[in-house]
Amino acid sequence: MARKIVVTSGKGGVGKTTVCCNAAIQLAKRGSRVLVADFDFGLNNVDVMFGMENLATYDLIDAVEGSCRARQTLIRHPRFPTLYIVSSNRVPEKYISPQALRLVLDALSPQFDFIFLDSPAGVGEGFVRAASCAEEALLVTTPSISSMRDADRVSGMLQGFRLGKVSLIVNFVKKELVRRGAVFSPEEIAVALRLPVLAAIPEEEQLSLAGTADRSRPFRRLADALLAKDGEERGQSLFAAWGRRG
């Protein structure tokens, strides 16, 4: 059965979809069977990020409504044969229950090692849907105070769900500023939010899925951390690469 991991954040635009797609690619490169399920209904862009738009015949809502079988929603990535996405092109006109979505994911689960649920930002209905269907969470934040404060609120909300593990991804890290002590380091963010950091991802001028080997390094580390038995320990070792404040 797949590990179902919700990728969430307090603030929008902090890199949830980027993290989902890049982590999925790195895991697929290691032979894992990975599904990225777009839970950002109506504002879905997993398909866009993978360059796979307009390929969906059915989406998650079709499967929930019974218009198709769960496996008919799967779209295989053209380059990585063990990587699939499920789209969510339609806005739910009526309330689609977390239970109904969980049934769809449960039907797909035996075919995968990982299912990433790309959540909308914030703590609205979309967040509840995604968090209810997951067993683990990756909470994405930037080093800014406002993003961290919103992440802390989401972290509190996540305690209301049955999640075995919640870890942080710190994105848009500016190495030089961390070295100078001008911004919080990933280590300090871990302490402030009382959560382990699984990956610290530098801000790149142009971050794309086809990025250079160097740019994909943080995501390779993230994949390693996700595959490691003790993800926390691996996550902590990241700090050696970032230096400390003070």
Ligand X SMILES: Nc1ncnc2c1ncn2[C@@H]1O[C@H](COP(=O)(O)OP(=O)(O)OP(=O)(O)O)[C@@H](O)[C@H]1O
State the residues that interact with Mg ion by CB under 5 A.
16-17
Residues 6+ apart with CB under 8 A from 55: 47, 75
- Residue of the chain from 18, 82, 87, 185 that contacts ligand X (CB under 6 A): 18
- Residue of the chain from 53, 125, 135, 203 that contacts ligand X (CB under 6 A): 203
User: Cβ 204 to ligand X, closest distance in Å?
Assistant: 4
Q: Is 141 in the site for ligand X (CB under 6 A)?
A: no
Distances (CA, A) of 19 to 62, 109, 140: 26, 21, 8
- 2 CB neighbour count, 10 Å cutoff: 20
In whole angstroms, give the CA distance from residue 180 to residue 244.
9
User: Cβ 215 to ligand X, closest distance in Å?
Assistant: 9
User: Cβ 16 to Mg ion, closest distance in Å?
Assistant: 5
Which residue has tokens 């059915």? Answer: 58
Q: Are 155 and 30 in contact (CB under 8 A)?
A: no
Q: What are phi and psi of 239, to 5 degrees?
A: -65, -25
- Residue of the chain from 1, 13, 97, 180 that contacts ligand X (CB under 6 A): 13
User: Cβ 189 to ligand X, closest distance in Å?
Assistant: 15
The stretch near ligand X (CB under 6 A) out of 92-100, 175-183, 197-205, 238-246 is 197-205
- Residue among 195, 105, 99 nearest 151 (CA): 195
Q: Is 201 in the site for ligand X (CB under 6 A)?
A: yes
Q: Is 172 in the site for ligand X (CB under 6 A)?
A: yes
Distances (CA, A) of 228 to 89, 185, 225: 34, 23, 5
The stretch near ligand X (CB under 6 A) out of 15-23, 78-86, 87-95, 191-199 is 15-23
Q: Are 187 and 242 in contact (CB under 8 A)?
A: yes
Residue 177 binds which entry of ligand X, Mg ion, none, with Cβ cut-offs from 5 to 8 Å by kind? none
Which residue has tokens 């049955």? Answer: 162
Size of the site for ligand X (CB under 6 A): 16
Q: How far apart are the first and last CA of the chain?
A: 45
Q: Which is nearer to Mg ion, 36 or 190 (CB)?
A: 36
Q: Is 186 in the site for ligand X (CB under 6 A)?
A: no
Residue 90-109 contact track with ligand X, rule CB under 6 A, x = bound: --------------------
Give me 68's structure tokens: 């198709």
Which residues in this chain contact ligand X in the complex, by CB under 6 A?
9, 12-18, 40, 121, 171-172, 201, 203-204, 207
